[in-house]
Amino acid sequence: MSQSKVQSLCASQPASLSPVIFAVFLSVRRSKECKSMSQDQEEQEDELLALASIYDEEEFRRAESAQGGEIQICLELPQDFKIVLKGEKQTEHDVSFLPPLVLNFELPPDYPSTSSPEYTLSSKWLSRAQLSALCRRLDELWRETQGSVVLFSWIQFLKEDVLGFLCLASPLEVAGGPAKSLPERKRSDGDGKTAGGVPGDDGGGQDPPDPRAVVEVDPRANILPQLLDFDEAQRQRVFDGKVFCCGICFTEKLGSGCLLFKECAHVYCRACLSEYFQIQIRDGNVQCLNCPEPKCTSVATPSQVKLLVGEELFARYDRLLLQSSLDLMADVVYCPRQMCRTAVMVEPDTTMGICSSCQYAFCTLCKRGYHGLSHCRATADELRSLRDEYVSASDDGKKFLEQRYGKRVIQKAVEESFSREWLDQNCKGCPRCGTNIQKVDGCNKMTCTSCKQYFCWLCLSQLTRVNPYSHFNNPASPCYNQLFQGVDIDEDEFWSDEDD
């Protein structure tokens, strides 16, 4: 009964009946309101309990002090979905997960019979215009089902239809701030509608931003690292919950107890890889921490190595890895002082290095004190190796050695090296003065051409001038009866009449 009818009825009846009719009207109205409020509260409670049973605590959190909560909605991305960094060089990244849309809501007392939920919709990678379009779509879904609970319908729309609704496709273009994934230009499909723009834009200007649309990042920030970090964390979470068979011990284990090589996707348990990595690091093979699969070249990342070995071994791995990396750099040499050995950066087109630790200035070619424009000096042993290096070098290599040591030094090295080899093979040094003596013929009693010292050719012992042959006649001598040892004697020539 409407209020106007009650007032009319009260006016037409005696005054004594008016209060009674009015009391009946109030009673009926209060009964209807209580019944409606009770039904709304019951439907709200059922809806919140249903959401809590469908989604886990990370997806849905109910508010403690009010009828409301927060829902984090991860979009279902198609396979091989990519994001592109906008810039001079566009780089594509494969992603399986994007940061969730966050729906914060509160249910008014007359929901769902009369009012819709009060909410905000936020995102790290959508623009405010895109979020505003989503808010308008949520309002449309409420009007289509007014009088019924709508939160689950909202969640399904945000989870499954956002990409199609906003015309987002792979590759998704991101730059500074939220993803600029929609093309700037619009094309007409023939009936006045536009494609590639935010829904609701009729071409004459975009709708004003919805106050319920919240962008969670600074528009000037680069969101690509955040997107990639979230994708990596979600991939790891999915991996941890699966079961894998270790390729070494052939035991089935959860992914949380395994390690995945990212390049080849081979999986091994952490216990087996930990032992394998420890052996390799102790042996100094830090470049060989690769996938155990035969012929596989995937290498473990430093973060994976740190996860599987102790602090001491990881420090050794880090140090050896740095050293091996420096060794491969052409502009890095080490201080030649044994107590220093600090890595030194060398300026281009110069042969001088200055150690930042001990301040030692040295030649980067010969590792001796810096000698300016003078050629590097070489020791006798270095000359011998220099000869071999020069003879086997290419034309460019020979030019480099000539610039480093000088042509005269190279020529001298070649000549002296051959001379030294001949002397080592055909001569012996005098035990007194060291003069090189060549034995052409005769017995093993030799006379130095320089100091006239008698000595034994076999054992290089100095012989007395009084009786040098006693060395060969004494039974206690190591060269007893060996005066002519190793001498080829032609008896006819040796005992010729000329010699007599």
Residues forming the active site:
443
Other Cβ atoms closer than 10 A to 137: 19
CA distances (Å), origin 157, targets 54, 73, 113, 160, 207: 16, 10, 22, 5, 21
CA distance 216 to 193: 31
Tokens read off for 13: 């009846």
Amino acid at 161: D
Residue 453 three-state SS:
coil
For residues 175 and 89, give the distance between their C-alpha atoms in angstroms, rounded to a whole number: 12
Task: Answer for the pair 236, 258: CB distance below 8 angstroms, yes or no.
Answer: no
The number of beta carbons lying within 10 Å of the beta carbon of residue 338 is: 6
**Strand pairing class (82-85; 172-174):** parallel
- Kindly tell me the burial class for residue 286, based on how many C-beta atoms sit within 10 Å of its own C-beta (0-12, 13-18, 19 or more): buried
The answer to whether 461 and 444 are in contact (CB under 8 A) is no
CA–CA distance, 176 with 215 (Å, rounded to integer)? 13
Alpha helix segments (H runs only) across 192-301: 224-240, 270-282
CA 304 from centre of chain:
10
Kind and range of the H or E run holding 243: strand 243-245
Q: Which two three-digit tokens encode residue 44?
A: 């709200």
Bridge partner list, 73: 101
How many CB atoms are closer than 10 A to CB 377? Answer: 13
257 Cβ neighbours under 8 A, 6+ residues apart: 269, 270, 271
DSSP letter string, 61-124: EE-SSSSEEEEEE---PPTT-EEEE-SSS-EEEE-S--PPEEEEEE--TTTTTTPPPEEEEEES
Instruction: Confirm if 98 and 231 have CB atoms less than 8 A apart.
Output: yes
Burial 322-336 (b: 16+ CB within 10 A, else e): eeeeeeeeeeebbbb
